[in-house]
Amino acid sequence: MKKEAYINENTPELREWLKEQGLIPETYPDCCDYNGLTAPYPNSFGEMAMYKDGIRYEEDDDFDEFIICNNEEEFKKTVIELLNQ
C-alpha cells in the first residue's frame, strides 16, 4: 500500500510547507544536504508525523510504499491526500 510521497527536490520553501502541514524533519538540523523529500514519514511510534530527506529509487525494497511525484504540485497534493487518510 502506498503511504508516502517522494519528490526529487529539497528546497527551504518545500520543507517549510511540510512543517505547515504539521510534519517535522526526521533529522536535525533541518537542511538540504541531500536531494529528495519523502512525506509523510513514520516516527518511532509508526505515526506518519515526519518528513525525511534523501533520494528514493524504484529499485528500493520498499518501493511499494511510496509514490514518486514528478513536480511540486503533485507532491503537495499527494501529501495532503495521504495525511487525510
Amino acid at 73: E
Task: Give the pLDDT mean for 73-81.
Answer: 97
What is the number of helices (H) and of strands (E) in the chain? 2, 5
Beta strands in 1-85 (DSSP E): 4-7, 24-25, 37-42, 48-53, 66-69
Q: What is the pLDDT of residue 16?
A: 95
- Structure confidence by residue, pLDDT tens digits, 30-52: 767 789 999 999 998 999 999 99
The DSSP bridge partners found for residue 80 are none
**pTM for the whole thing?**
0.90
Q: What is the pLDDT of residue 67?
A: 95
What range does the domain containing 39 cover? 4-83
Strand 24-25 relative to strand 37-42: parallel, antiparallel, unpaired? unpaired
Place of cell 536535525: 28
Q: What is the pLDDT of residue 11?
A: 93
The domain total for the chain is 1
